[in-house]
A and B are shown apart, each in its own frame.
Chain A
Amino acid sequence: MTQHLLITAATLPDGTRADLRVQDGAIVETGSGLSADGGRVIDADGLQALPGLVDLHTHLREPGFEQSETVLTGTRAAAAGGFTVVHAMANTLPVQDTAGVVEQVASLGAQHGYATVRPVGAVTVGLGGERLSEIGAMAASRAAVRVFSDDGKCVSDALLMRRALEYVKTFDGVVAQHAQEPRLTEGAQMNEGALSSELGLAGWPAVAEESIIARDVLLAQHVGARLHICHVSTAGSVDIVRWAKARGIDVTAEVTPHHLLLTEQLAATYDPHYKVNPPLRREEDVLALRAALADGTIDIVATDHAPHPVEAKECAWPEAAVGMVGLESALAVVQEAMVETGLLDWSGVARVLSTTPARIGRVTGYDAPLAVGSPANITLVDAAARSDFDVARLHGMSVNSPFLGRSLPGRVMAVVHDGRPTVLDGALLEPAEVTTA
């Protein structure tokens, strides 16, 4: 089925305005005063156009945890947030450690049509941290896995990490490390510091993250492999990544939206909606992360979208699940933390939320954003809007957002995924209008 679309008068990331004509899934013409050619017209006057957003770190929970999220509900959340690609983390049940599971997850995504689902393969069998999973089979599968991660758990064994880095290199893949020294974080509840001492919550020290990153950048250098660091959360980690890049080590790093905006002070409420792993850190960490994202030390923003059912957060803090949903709020939070503060312009946003994560994940079609010939993955944002982020903005199955009630800028008005709209007039389209099945 072909769709003709004409997006008129959009503001491109470089600040210029243009019409974009879309046909057969690709951008076929740009300019001004283009003809709709009988297709649907999307009036983008006053809207900021971005390439479709690419999330390198999403928990879709299917198979195994469908009470929290499914591929359908998670990709609906993704589309509502302006994403056209999500990388589905491996901690499903069964774990995404075989070709069969990753192919199933990818095909569910393709069938629903809201976003391209790129499964992440587990580094070790069952996330057990003992034996490498069938990385080659997952890479060669129809899911064409290129990102491998035990996210949620750290590949803490140094020899196993070395082998993983070397082996994944064979398939042009990357190991995305969840940097958390397990012994230093047993029972950890929040950032370790004066506040954790006062609140009586077991501390998650920065050194538990930084020591693993330091070890892994050196391992990556030693074996000449590519390394990606998930959810960098401390100023010290930024220093190590900056040092590694200066030495020419092939490392990339991500930061989550919540680590760009929220601080540990929120733990004083004992409200488990602020419980996340790695934990919210100090104000000085937040500022260091923003500066690192602006100067390129941190390459990308990734959501770590982590849905949980209501009961997992309706309990005392130490008993609550870790994690926050983030797909629907990511762009707004990045605008608040980076654009409104003057640290990043919209071409920078396109870089950290689309072009670079696509490059790290080896997703094709995102290297020449919004250019003629590129697949039509386009997000249109009303950057001038501002409103209290409320539960109506959430389209996944879970509502464990730390941003509810917070005033945030920007509103996703339209999203085109491979030439087909998933969001129009600020509203998510129905499954029947989107499905490719």
Chain B
Amino acid sequence: MKHLLSTRDLSRVDAVRILDLAEDMADVATRAVPKLPTLRGKTVANLFFEDSTRTRLSFEAAAKRLSAEVITFSAKGSSVSKGESLKDTAQTIAAMGVDAVVLRHPASGAAATLAGSGWIDAAVVNAGDGTHEHPTQGLLDAYSIRKRLHGAGSRGRDLDGVRVTIVGDIVHSRVARSNVWLLSTLGAEVSLVAPATLLPGSIERWPVTAGHDLDAAIAARPDALMMLRVQAERMTSGFFPNEREYAREWGLSAERFARLGADTMVLHPGPMNRGLEISSAAADSARSVVLEQVTNGVSIRMAVLYLVLSGNDGTDA
């Protein structure tokens, strides 16, 4: 695997292989010294043109557990605010000797552009590009669902027949996109719930079912319910009238949570707006996978960095 740009173009075999490798990486964390020498001598650059402390720290932790060097670039207070382009920033960092670039960028397609441009030779890992994709988030969500369902017996399994419902701002969500493609590739049945303003146009072309009614979705007892974060800017641009109405119609309130199937797990990519899209009762319950998602995120990113930096492993066949 030369780059990881999207989950759209991952095959089921490749996806399962990444999840299985993440299982191995998770085992490392249980050791006395939770570190592997695998990527010693390699340098990973975190290029973050958009704030994201969680994702950046997760990639940092992953790289360090594999003994790679990590250098970090954040747009805030950097040359980007002085008008430097993606090309120049990437080439500058690459000139310092970098083997992989982890890119977070507000522009959809930025990772694909960087990987295809010929500007740099380094591997590119998409850590979120605009409203397009966030593939490691999709992978860690799939991993978390599989782990909850199958525990120690997870290795080698896909998500055939698993029913996942994703709720919230689908149209602007790179997390939703990466999950839709990956989960359906793995065999899961994905359904989306949102007001019509927050569902993408032409949703009928996606491998999903879509609706507007969260109560109906809860009554259908999905295996996993994923609540998406409501971005502050959506609240002021007319996608829905106000927070109260959103919370009433599409929030996982304590009352809705109580109606949720006993086996339904609750996911959220974080950071959470408690009281808006998710109640504390749901977020802090035993059925919440939120903190496991964070832990699993490190394992997934270790697996991805390993794959793009350790040369040909056959997964891009």
- What residues make up the interface of A, taking CB atoms closer than 8 Å to B? 189, 192-194, 196-203, 269-271, 311, 314-319
Contacts and interface: CB of A to CB of B under 8 A. Distances in A.
Contacts of A202: 131
Contacts of B86: 315-316, 319
Contacts of B275: none
B205 A200 contact: no
Contacts of A194: 201-202, 205
A198 B133 CA distance: 9
A212 B185 CA distance: 42
Nearest to B112: A270
Contact of A316 (B109, B133, B174, B201): B109
A197 B200 contact: yes
Contacts of B87: 314-315
Contacts, number: 75
Contacts of A314: 85, 87, 117
A315 B113 contact: yes
B56 interface: no
Contact of B113 (A193, A197, A198, A270): A270
Given A200-B129, A200-B133, A315-B87, A270 B201 contact: no
A207 to B, nearest CB: 11
Given A311-B85, A315-B113, A201 B202 contact: no
Nearest to B129: A200
B235 interface: no
B200 A201 contact: no
A317 B109 CA distance: 7
B132 interface: yes
A200 B130 contact: yes
Contact of B177 (A192, A193, A198, A315): A198
Contact of B132 (A192, A200, A203): A200
Interface residues of B, number: 28
B78 interface: no
A129 to B, nearest CB: 22
23 contacts: A189-B108, A193-B201, A194-B201, A194-B205, A197-B200, A197-B202, A199-B108, A200-B131, A200-B132, A200-B133, A200-B174, A201-B109, A201-B130, A202-B131, A270-B109, A270-B113, A271-B116, A315-B86, A315-B87, A317-B113, A318-B130, A319-B86, A319-B107
A311 B108 CA distance: 18
Contact of B107 (A269, A271, A318): A318
Contacts of A318: 106-109, 130
Interface of B: 8, 85-87, 105-110, 112-113, 116-117, 129-133, 171, 174, 177, 200-203, 205-206
Contact of A199 (B85, B109, B116, B171): B109
A315 to B, nearest CB: 6
Nearest to A190: B108
Contacts of B117: 314
B108 A201 contact: yes
B107 A317 contact: yes
A271 B129 CA distance: 15
A432 B174 CA distance: 56
A197 B85 contact: no
Contacts of A198: 8, 177, 205-206
A271 B108 CA distance: 12
Among B8, B107, B201, chain A packs the most CB atoms within 10 A around the CB of: B107
A145 to B, nearest CB: 36
B239 to A, nearest CB: 13
Given A198-B177, A200-B177, A316 B202 contact: no
Among B8, B105, B201, chain A packs the most CB atoms within 10 A around the CB of: B201
B127 to A, nearest CB: 14
Contacts of A192: 201
Given A194-B202, A200-B109, 13 more contacts: A197-B200, A198-B8, A200-B130, A200-B132, A200-B174, A201-B108, A202-B131, A269-B116, A315-B85, A316-B129, A317-B109, A318-B108, A319-B85
Nearest to B49: A316
Nearest to A193: B202
Contacts of A203: 201
A201 B171 CA distance: 10
Nearest to A189: B108
Given A311-B85, A315-B86, A315-B113, A200 B108 contact: yes
